[in-house]
Structure 1
């Protein structure tokens, strides 16, 4: 069992204009410019220093010009998933340099004018990670007088995404695959329920970019998902930490399970309330059967039968997108009248 001991901060620390950010599975190309651009909208950023870089322990110190700016920036960061990025006030108090403060130790990193607060874990994730992944990076900083760069130009796409905010006791990697394989062929999925995030590695960057652009803030089960790019090898680095996930939380795609033929041009469609149901038997391709099959996941608003001489298909419209996503997660490739049905998103209207 992994537990975390948060520091107990004094009231004076809560008035600090400095923030300590801890990130899980960040992109490799994050820079001080990115954090400065991200938080500058909440007030002037005096400086940003990256203290530590590793997949499970990436720490950044941000100094805002005022406490009010720091408070606004922290409020924004706290609205992001608390498991992907943690934000706390930080104060550089010289009397504490030689000792410890409650559950936190203070270390000097390459700069005698800067102390870093590194929280102790009763069982630390960093104790599990390889030692060579724990080295300290050289400190880089950016002053507020420097030009602010648009954050979208700094966050470079990769083929691997972090879906943050994943919740739901019935969720597993297969259900995530059922949803997100609609947007391109997937190499691997790793779900870390303990930290409420999942990593999805696509075969092509164009797929991950499509998901990043079209699937932010999706709601399904108990999840409200925010999506970011992470290091391409993030799954491979975390895969060995098998105490963090169960067997059903790791999924590897194959040509047999790919939705798209890689030799054909792919038409990627965003999530929709209307679902296309195919590979039906003739006896199943009717409104009554569709209503019975999908009403347990929510309100079925409409059904349209699309039968031809040799193919039997239907369109089903759910009341909400959240219900449609849960149908996709649980019913894609499941049996209706002893045949595995295929479910996909569609731009068709009913």
Structure 2
């Protein structure tokens, strides 16, 4: 299980009416209004600010109307699983202007894809808002633009759904775009983390695989911290054994010493490692029509290699075929399936 180390706070901070919440793997579409309505049952909520909004570093500042209300709210939050939320009292030399119960201020001050604070605990609002600009006067500080992307080898695939989906099936699809280190699927939260061996692979996926549809999923992709998978592995109640996959040289699709030609997802699939008896249009049609509508088959046999191109009705079906059939047996031989730029 994850354990958090909290800074030693001055005793006066324990009487603060401000709380700092840190969430791990939060549900989608959390808003200041949500936190306001959640905590108003414990006293007046003066202000809610979302400081950082990303998978591994979602920070929320809540200003309660009184220190007593803050204590009650913290007591409630402390009863929740510490795997998901950490709540601490918060103090700053110049706290935001307080509102009132009847005029609650709810604003979003930062919505960055990546947080620069993922490896530290900060107790200063100024540090949280502008980590990278400490030397500027507070009146001139600027919030980092949410359009600034920090590339990492690790991606978050949001919107993952499908009761029969597991990490192996995700590997079958996304190993087409580079050698994979690890995959962790969190079905409860409808997302998966994929860590590639090289940053160029994750960038390719980010640029070429947004809004892909397969099974019940329509995914959106973002970069997350390099250690995102490691941080979630201890939360073993979130995933099953089949939801975690570790790649190896034996399972890598690409020879890392050679230049790799990465291809985007395609409706046409290249099927190789076939037996001669299987490498014909009739057999391929029968095999792949179980997973969707086959539009065309082209045989590519040579004297020693037996291959085919199979065109599915649409990209969604092609992705599902990839997930279900890559490395599966056809006539007692494990077939290899990859995306191709070839046309039929």
- TM-score, with structure 1 as normaliser: 0.67
Q: Does 1:50 align with 2:21?
A: no
Please state whether the residue corresponding to 1:244 is helix, strand or coil: coil
**1:252-267 counterparts in 2 under 5 A?**
252-267=246-261
Specify which of 203, 207, 221 is matched with residue 201 of structure 2: 207
Specify which of 188, 203, 227 is matched with residue 221 of structure 2: 227
Q: 1:241 to 1:231 in 2, by over 3 A?
A: same
Name the structure 2 match of 1:14. Answer: none
Q: How many angstroms does 1:240 deviate by?
A: 1.8
Q: 1:303 to 1:145 in 2, by over 3 A?
A: farther
Distance between the aligned counterparts of 1:23 and 1:270, measured in 2? 34
- TM-score, with structure 2 as normaliser: 0.68
Distance between the aligned counterparts of 2:21 and 2:280, measured in 1? 54
* 4+ aligned runs moved over 4 Å, structure 1: 20-26, 53-57, 99-108, 132-137, 142-150
Q: How many angstroms does 1:291 deviate by?
A: 1.1
Q: Report the RMSD for the aligned CA atoms in angstroms.
A: 3.3
Q: Does 1:141 align with 2:135?
A: no
Distance between the aligned counterparts of 1:299 and 1:224, measured in 2? 20
Name the structure 1 match of 2:315. Answer: 321
Q: How many angstroms does 1:302 deviate by?
A: 0.9
Q: 1:209 to 1:21 in 2, by over 3 A?
A: farther
Number of residue pairs matched by the alignment: 264
1:282-341 Cα distance to aligned partner (Å, 9 max, x none): 111111111111112111111111111111111111111111000000000000111100
Q: Does 1:98 align with 2:69?
A: yes
Contact 2:56–2:225, Cα closer than 8 Å, also in 1: no
Contact 1:97–1:107, Cα closer than 8 Å, also in 2: no
Show structure 1 runs of 5+ residues with no match: 1-19, 27-46, 62-89, 116-131
Q: Does 1:59 align with 2:53?
A: no
Name the structure 2 match of 1:301. Answer: 295
- Structure showing greater radius of gyration is 2
Q: How many angstroms does 1:145 deviate by?
A: 7.8
Q: Does 1:109 align with 2:90?
A: yes
Specify which of 169, 187, 192 is matched with residue 198 of structure 1: 192
Distance between the aligned counterparts of 1:248 and 1:107, measured in 2? 35
Q: How many angstroms does 1:104 deviate by?
A: 6.5
Name the structure 2 match of 1:160. Answer: 154
1:24-47 Cα distance to aligned partner (Å, 9 max, x none): 459xxxxxxxxxxxxxxxxxxxx9
Name the structure 1 match of 2:179. Answer: 185
Name the structure 2 match of 1:243. Answer: 237
Show structure 2 runs of 5+ residues with no match: 1-19, 27-47, 79-86, 99-117, 131-137
Q: 1:54 to 1:148 in 2, by over 3 A?
A: closer
Q: 1:236 to 1:104 in 2, by over 3 A?
A: closer
